[in-house]
Amino acid sequence: MTRIHVLGGTGYAGSRIVREAAKRGHQVVSYSRSIPDKQTPGVEYRAGDVQDPAFLASAFEHTDVVISALSTHGGLAGKGRLRALLSTAAGLAAERGVRFGVMGGAGSLLIAPDGPRLVDTPGFPEVAKPESLELAGALDDLRANTDNRLDWFLISPAENFGKHAPGTARGHYRIGGDILLRDENGVSEISGDDIALAITDEIEKPAHHRTRFSVAY
């Protein structure tokens, strides 16, 4: 059993990570702005503001892994806020000897070996750019982090992922690197349930250290 704390544990990705990890018998604590009405059995829910230093620091106590499923919603809206918070979280992880996983975005993935990034392509939704750029910046910061105490990974989903494209759980996925994965029909998609599957698999059998990987069907 692994002790897993999830920042943003009641959101689209976070709630699925919480559910999958709890289903497998791990000790899970969810951190979010409020306690949800619908809760996963066996999960402890803690409410607070992750921008409160004490609340954020508490998430890195008595745990083996912290997963960030935070987004640029609510108090983290605004340029630089999410990126800065994830940088602070990485520092806490290094200090406490806690593995740190980040639910990233697809925007930082390259569409071909020589680029460009998906977020820089014509037609990328303007509404999605702020969060994509924040998470791309967070990836840059993690890659630039020279503290070898920090064991981090960032997972980028397929292009079609999220509330707007929930998909259907298939119980499998493919793993890639920095290039956007597409299927034989040119479609790049992954469901929330299968992202949670991939993250929990990575927690149970660590295969990616101080790097980003991507998942899609």
Q: Is the pLDDT of residue 26 over 90?
A: yes
CA distance 117 to 6: 28
In CATH terms, the fold of domain 3-216 is: Rossmann fold (3.40.50)
The chain-wide mean pLDDT, for the chain, equals 97
Question: For the ranges 29-38, 115-124, 164-173, 198-207, which has the lowest average pLDDT?
Answer: 164-173
Return the pLDDT at 166. 80
Token representation of residue 62: 């008595």
CA distance 66 to 70: 12
Mean pLDDT along residues 184-195: 97
pLDDT digits (tens, 9 = 90+) for 54-76: 999 999 999 999 999 999 988 89
The residue ranges of every structural domain in the chain are 3-216
